[in-house]
Structure 1
Amino acid sequence: MENFTQAVRAAEVAIRELFEPTPLQRNDHLSAKYGADIWLKREDLTPVRSYKLRGAFNAMRKVMSEVKPGDAHFVCASAGNHAQGVAFACRHFGARGTIFMPVTTPQQKIDKTRIFGGEAIQIELTGDYFDQTLAAAQAFSAEKGAVFLAPFDSADVIEGQATVAQEMLEQLGTAPDLVVLPVGGGGLSSGVARYLRENAPQTQLTFAEPLGGASLQAALENGAPVALPAVDGFVDGAAVARIGALPFQELSRFSSSDVHLAPEDRICVTMLEMLNAEGMVLEPAGALAVDVLGDLRDIAGKTVVCICSGGNFDFERLPEVKERAQRFAGKKKYLILRMPQRPGALRDFLELLGPDDDIARFEYLKKSARNFGSILIGIETTQPANLTTLMQRLDQAGFTYRDITRDIVLSEFLI
């Protein structure tokens, strides 16, 4: 039976039908920032702007080797990168594809999937939530006798994702000291981990998960995959409630201390940093590995590779990313201020603002009060210390206010 390394190398040769190896680039900005030799494996530069094409292609080529092209029918459920990878591979093989996507999928992702697949695919929009979409796709696949392509819990998919490691070692010419792997369902991280275990055992691994979707950490703490009670969907490429069973077979050898959690708002800071400093467009999941670099100990002087897993970012989300980054950096706050209902009260408040403080939001929440009115105020500034000083002035002036910047419930309703 073909061993894993041989299978990955065969997959890597086959995948050259679609695209050349993605670049492995030394990043001077990050290297200087962390005092290490930081390299980025640019999976955001595949034809579909994510690594997902690798696993989909590898699973599909094995099926295609046993059937006539016209007889192949593939089905998947995805709202993003997996759908685009499957669509691209269907068109390449001339195979039929039916791609189930939630009704809530942004039109931009639907359009991109349709462009990649062309006439080879059909898109079915069903379900408000992904679990509903997945159930519909699996039922359809069973009914039609089609091949269901799992996004990560598949040996062939894991094998395909591991080609990232094969390319990385060849490009670097030596084994790196550390590889930082983003984790969603675990297909990429388990494939790379296994390949490096067999071919570069001296290389250390660490994992990056979104704080609101830490399924690997939960599995390691419980000794088996468990379903998270809730998932923050912002990091949509890695927001998975339960790590895959097959990926966990490889990843179970690690400790929960090997997993670093990236707060969603901090990921926004990293996305903007990479866009502004390097001109790199990374989706939230694609920025995970870079984001946790500041959490790692003892990387000074070491050779570190970060896997940038994807760049499918809708620029309509940029205002949200900027907003969340400002809040995390302490440069923007939202206050509910009790304003006395008297002439000159607003002027008194405005005179407390510093020269770099800017009002970005001003809205009366209650106008019927006789003595006081509640006002929602958003304030932007250049340095976090400016907002600390402003609140000290508010306290001294006797204003009553509530900082709701990090109040999830109130922020959701009012901001």
Structure 2
Amino acid sequence: MATNYLKKIISARVYDVARETELQVAPELTKRLGNQVLLKREDNQPVFSFKLRGAYNKMAHLPPEALKRGVIAASAGNHAQGVALAAAKMKCKAVIVMPLTTPSLKINAVKARGGSWVEVILHGESYSDAFKYSELLEKKRGLTFVHPFDDPDVIAGQGTIALEIFQQYQEPIDAIFVAIGGGGLIAGIGEYVKAVSPKTKVIGVQSVDSDAMRRSLEANKRIEMKDVGLFSDGTAVKLVGKETFRICKRVVDDIITVDTDEICAAINDVFTDTRSILEPAGALAIAGMKKYVDKHRLKKKTLVAIACGANMNFSRLRFVAERADVGEFREAVFAVTIPEERGSFRRFCELLGNRNITEFNYRIADQSEAHIFVGIGTQKASDSSTIAKHFHKAKFATIDLTHDELAKSHLRHMVGGRSTLAQDELLYRFEFPERPGALMKFLTSMAPNWNISLFHYRNHGADYGRILVGIQVPKNEQKKFQNFLASLGYPHWNETDNPAYRLFLK
């Protein structure tokens, strides 16, 4: 028998712990995008996320004997806080398994919400790893599993957000934008929207490196991703739920993907309008809405974006601020080669005119040419190509690095480092879960006769570490090096032929 989600949503029990959140006009976004933009402020919940709705509704529908035995959950943080708060409210024991990559802010919040009723266990590098371990503990301890997304009661609890939206706004709504991890939030919202306002589009938003739902809907079957990006940790799900996938096939009109820079820009947008700081997953819907408006050239529409979470580590703000300008097309980055002669530096500066310089790096390295790393303030996406053409016209060789990950993450902090000693150097970028021992694992896995000739690591306050490494590998050991990369298991990119590397570091 099919679940009557409209009935379940209307009768859901969420307000013992949750509150009706504001549906708030975003004045600056509305003005800039030429559409009425409304933010559903789920970041204002007691646990700074929508997740307590579904968690509490599930636990409120458990029989007394199940509550007495206790519950277990797997979560990257926000669902865990919802379960912890519900457990303390109901005086029910809860075991919560969280990935090792979970920000400390969320781990500490879970312990604070649940107090003595909650036991936190850290296991694995992603939600999927934590989930598999929680399944073992569920059977071993005889607990009841509270799924973060793939459960009708959880889905119905999240659906109460849509119920509130249509009570709060009586005029037609053209589209609602919703972040997707496992699919519980968009499934609940979609079920209600399509029941009461079928013409309203339900648009899912995922990060480009964690788009399991998009891939699954395209393939018409659930697709499990081998790796997921960790920046938007709240949506880092390798495999979407069976029930959420079934629902999404019917209620989701479109899915749009956004990158890290676009998410950072959206965090900045919401701060400008509300003075609140969303976590990356919390800002996904806003980033996707902006991209969708631009892609479809929407004007004078009413758009709602779910601001679904604000559990942000303060140390991560440095990275967000650095990348927001690129994501909002407010900064373009270039490598420019000019003659190493008197007057050329001044001529280059004159070309810049009144443009705002965001970064300028230069160090003398060659008798005939000077290589400059420059960041320039921009107004729109097309400005970077316009500026590059302007430099080329003046006979200055130019490379547009605005979308070059190596340049944005590393080179801008390293310009000027060359060495004639770095023979047989290979340059690689690596990402690894930011947890104790990960960097040491990398270093100790290397063969002792491979010399590190360049190394750059910068803690971005994110859930993953990024390093740039120059490694001197003799040509007869290339195969051995490739085997090393495979055994290491970290995502990696060969940057040896990157033109920016050859200009500034080679």
The Cα of 1:154 is off from its aligned counterpart by 1.4
1:348-402: CA deviation from partner (whole Å, max 9, x where unpaired): 86676545443636376xx9x7757986735243556886676557546765554
1:261-299: CA deviation from partner (whole Å, max 9, x where unpaired): 233312222221221133232222222333333424485
1:335-355: CA deviation from partner (whole Å, max 9, x where unpaired): 456687889987786676545
Indicate whether 1:287 and 2:283 are aligned.
yes
Distance between the aligned counterparts of 1:232 and 1:346, measured in 2?
Answer: 41
**Retained in 2: the 8 A contact 1:56–1:86?**
yes
The Cα of 1:156 is off from its aligned counterpart by 1.8
Compared CA separation, residues 122 and 414, structure 1 to 2 (3 A): farther
**Retained in 1: the 8 A contact 2:27–2:273?**
no
Distance between the aligned counterparts of 1:114 and 1:372, measured in 2?
Answer: 61
| More displaced 10-residue stretch of structure 1: 355-364 or 76-85 | 355-364
Distance between the aligned counterparts of 2:279 and 2:376, measured in 1?
Answer: 25
Distance between the aligned counterparts of 1:303 and 1:387, measured in 2?
Answer: 31
Matched ranges for 1:90-101 at <5 A: 90-101=87-98
DSSP 3-state at the match of 1:38: strand
Compared CA separation, residues 375 and 56, structure 1 to 2 (3 A): farther
Matched ranges for 1:338-377 at <5 A: 354-358=353-357, 360=359, 362=361, 371=367, 377=373
Structure 2 residue identity aligned to 1:7? K
Compared CA separation, residues 414 and 229, structure 1 to 2 (3 A): farther
1:206-259: CA deviation from partner (whole Å, max 9, x where unpaired): 22222332222212211112123543322222233332211111111257x622
**What is aligned with 1:185?**
182
Indicate whether 1:266 and 2:267 are aligned.
no
Distance between the aligned counterparts of 1:56 and 1:347, measured in 2?
Answer: 62
Matched ranges for 1:164-183 at <5 A: 164-173=161-170, 176-183=173-180
The Cα of 1:133 is off from its aligned counterpart by 2.6
Compared CA separation, residues 409 and 143, structure 1 to 2 (3 A): farther
DSSP 3-state at the match of 1:206: strand
**Retained in 1: the 8 A contact 2:123–2:130?**
yes
**What is aligned with 2:213?**
216
**What is aligned with 1:56?**
55
**What is aligned with 1:325?**
324
Compared CA separation, residues 414 and 131, structure 1 to 2 (3 A): farther
Compared CA separation, residues 374 and 89, structure 1 to 2 (3 A): farther
Superposition TM-score, scaled by structure 2 size: 0.70
**What is aligned with 1:67?**
65
The Cα of 1:84 is off from its aligned counterpart by 1.3
Distance between the aligned counterparts of 1:293 and 1:353, measured in 2?
Answer: 33
Compared CA separation, residues 122 and 341, structure 1 to 2 (3 A): farther
DSSP 3-state at the match of 2:64: coil
Distance between the aligned counterparts of 1:125 and 1:344, measured in 2?
Answer: 60
The Cα of 1:55 is off from its aligned counterpart by 0.8
Structure 2 residue identity aligned to 1:381? G
DSSP 3-state at the match of 2:312: coil
Distance between the aligned counterparts of 2:332 and 2:207, measured in 1?
Answer: 23
Compared CA separation, residues 108 and 339, structure 1 to 2 (3 A): farther
**What is aligned with 1:379?**
375
Structure 2 residue identity aligned to 1:143? K
**Retained in 1: the 8 A contact 2:332–2:377?**
no
Greater relative contact order structure (CA < 8 Å, 6+ sep): 1
**Retained in 1: the 8 A contact 2:84–2:113?**
yes
Matched ranges for 1:137-148 at <5 A: 137-148=134-145
Q: Percent identity?
A: 31
DSSP 3-state at the match of 1:207: strand
Structure 2 residue identity aligned to 1:198? A
**Retained in 2: the 8 A contact 1:361–1:379?**
yes
Structure 2 residue identity aligned to 1:6? K
**Retained in 1: the 8 A contact 2:28–2:272?**
no
DSSP 3-state at the match of 2:65: coil
**What is aligned with 2:120?**
123
**Retained in 2: the 8 A contact 1:331–1:387?**
no
Compared CA separation, residues 130 and 239, structure 1 to 2 (3 A): closer
Indicate whether 1:236 and 2:237 are aligned.
no
**What is aligned with 2:309?**
310
DSSP 3-state at the match of 1:360: strand
1:311-332: CA deviation from partner (whole Å, max 9, x where unpaired): 2222322221222222234443
Superposition TM-score, scaled by structure 1 size: 0.84
**Retained in 2: the 8 A contact 1:220–1:254?**
no
124, 130, 134: which one pairs with 1:133? Answer: 130
Distance between the aligned counterparts of 1:198 and 1:131, measured in 2?
Answer: 32
**Retained in 2: the 8 A contact 1:177–1:204?**
yes
Compared CA separation, residues 110 and 232, structure 1 to 2 (3 A): same
Compared CA separation, residues 197 and 386, structure 1 to 2 (3 A): closer
**Retained in 1: the 8 A contact 2:333–2:374?**
yes
**What is aligned with 1:77?**
74
| More displaced 10-residue stretch of structure 1: 40-49 or 99-108 | 99-108
